[in-house]
Amino acid sequence: MGKIVVIILVIALIVFTRRSRPAGSKAGTSLLSQPTQTQEPEVLKVATYNIQTGKRLDGKRDLLASAQVMAQADLIGVQEVYAPGFDGLSGFELGADMLSGQTERLASHGKFGWLFSATARRWFREHRGNAILSRLPVSDWRVETLPDTSGKSFRNMTIARVHWQGESFHFINTHLHTRGGREDQLRLVLEEFGRYPRAILLGDFNSRANTKALAEAIKDIQITDAISVAGLDLENPDRIDWILTKGFKVGTGKIVEKGVSDHPYYQVSLSYS
């Protein structure tokens, strides 16, 4: 009888700790690791990339391939990143070990400063989330949990103040829900974006251009759909990854089609307008 009780307790503990829970909000005043670049770029290369935890379309994990795609950018919003742990240690993981998460390894490869923003906790630790990689100094950042109706697929947005060419702007990275509650999340991140005269909002919105709140935002004369203006993916009505800007002039762009990830990589060149 005692063994049965122990087995039941062990199973209950496994079920309890395996379940995802929201990671919560947090804030800070600098990146967890500062960038090593000393010379400011004349043109800012900004990118968004959902790396699918380093998995290629064929299901094999190759974090090095993700790192190589992002290597030339200055400021990147990354989505679907694993925290330190056993997750994602298969394949070539840039010297993988349990003490460094995917964000830190990506940053080390590209010599970026970095910040990991966990969306969920699992097994008594941070499990997965989003990240910022930057070659520019970042300050006054905060992570805000977004409302959730699923009870398991938690989302957030990270707002950071970035310094470049003697001025600063706000950089917002997010990954919104695929279904229920996405419209409310989208409204909240757009409201946050609207607070700042010069800002970049990017990420995997899981929302197409005809989504009501997004369509209304794009009509705003102050807001630029940088991916479209840079001439990227113009014939794709199903695009759900976005780079929206305020107070910037958009130049050229770069796209890496699906393959390294199940999402394309989008990069645009920006200057102050």
Rg for the chain, CA atoms, rounded = 19
Please, what CATH class does the domain formed by 29-272 belong to?
Answer: alpha beta
Q: Taking the domains of the chain in order of start, what are their residue ranges?
A: 29-272
List of residues 6+ apart from 182 with CB closer than 8 A: 176, 206, 207
Contact 33, 104 (CB under 8 A): yes
pLDDT in tens, the chain (273 residues): 666 644 444 443 344 444 567 778 899 988 867 666 668 899 999 999 999 999 999 999 999 999 999 999 999 999 999 988 655 454 445 455 555 789 999 999 999 999 999 998 775 677 899 999 999 999 899 999 999 887 778 999 999 999 999 999 999 999 999 987 899 999 999 999 999 999 999 999 999 999 999 999 999 999 999 999 999 999 999 999 999 999 999 999 999 999 999 999 999 999 998
Q: What is the pTM of this model?
A: 0.89
